[in-house]
Amino acid sequence: MKQIEIKKELITPKVAERLLEHNEHNRKLASPRVLMYANDMLLGRWKQDTGETIKISPEGRLLDGQNRLNAVIKSKTPIYFHVAYNVPDDVFDVIDTGKLRNASDVFTIEKIAFSTCLPSIITAYEALNAGGGETSRQKNLKPTNKMLLDIYYSREKYWQSTVLKTQNWYVSFAKIIAPSIIGGMYSIFYDINELDAEKFMNQLCNGYSIENNAIILLRKKLMSDKIGIKKMGIYQKNAYIIKTWNCYRKKETIKILKFDMTNEEFPKAI
């Protein structure tokens, strides 16, 4: 039996194509993951020394690494990988069967406080910046763990402050809306006007000193949705919150708060 040999090699798109020619019995390609990997490679975010290997059998069969190799081809970016040669074929059925690390796992490893809540807030914020957060295209472009960490570290103090406020607002509003929505919305509004964002979220979640009747209408709608049988989707809920924010900003009084998903475009916060 040949001994396993590990080499660090530059895998170009042509080399990746050659290795993938011997990919006879691998799993179905995970296209969204390939897209995320390729995006990281293209933007220089890919970490090359993680200890993960491309695994090749003694006969040259690809046992592990098809998503990474396809990402190299898609991004047209040469990447250094550790390649393990002479890996026995009988380990194929136990390769890569473990649970992938999610964003909360990664934040915990980085010793970031509120590691459970923070990734979902940042993800919601990014989805709102992309236009609402529920189209299939946006789901495929969901931020990678590396992207979430980069966004967090770019404004570390801000995100730690935001998650504390989010938790207080979540409890004050009797857990009517998810922390991810509260924190994501606050962050979108904060980027527009810091003072108004604070006042708006306090009025919406705490329910006192309300300056605009649209906030009262929104609170009623969200509370009714919480106890109702038919639930609003995230896209619709986000639209209502942004429309209310816009009324607040314009000091506009309305009688009915509505959003027609069929005929209206997703609102843009002003």
Q: Residue 136: its pLDDT value, please?
A: 38
Q: Residue 47: its pLDDT value, please?
A: 82
Three-state SS at 240: helix
Q: Residue 267: its pLDDT value, please?
A: 95
Q: How far is CA 7 from CA 49, 51, 55, 57, 59, in A?
A: 12, 11, 11, 14, 17
Q: Residue 1: its pLDDT value, please?
A: 62
Query: How many C-beta atoms lie closer than 10 Å to residue 248's C-beta?
Result: 23
Q: Residue 215: its pLDDT value, please?
A: 98
Residues 54, 239: Cα–Cα separation, whole Å: 44
Query: How many C-beta atoms lie closer than 10 Å to residue 63's C-beta?
Result: 22
Residue type, 58: P
Q: Residue 33: its pLDDT value, please?
A: 81
**What is the mean pLDDT, run by run of 10 residues, along the chain of 270 residues?**
86 94 66 86 85 87 89 94 86 52 83 94 93 52 85 97 98 96 98 98 97 97 93 93 98 94 92
Say which DSSP state 218 is in.
Answer: H
Say which DSSP state 12 is in.
Answer: -
Three-state SS at 112: coil
Q: Residue 4: its pLDDT value, please?
A: 86
Three-state SS at 5: strand
Q: Residue 126: its pLDDT value, please?
A: 93
DSSP string, 58-97: TTS-EEE-HHHHHHHHHHT--EEEEEEES--GGGGGGTT-
Spans of all domains in the chain: 5-94, 103-250
Q: Residue 23: its pLDDT value, please?
A: 78
Report field, pTM of the whole predicted structure over 0.85? no
Q: Residue 98: its pLDDT value, please?
A: 46
Residues 233, 134: Cα–Cα separation, whole Å: 9
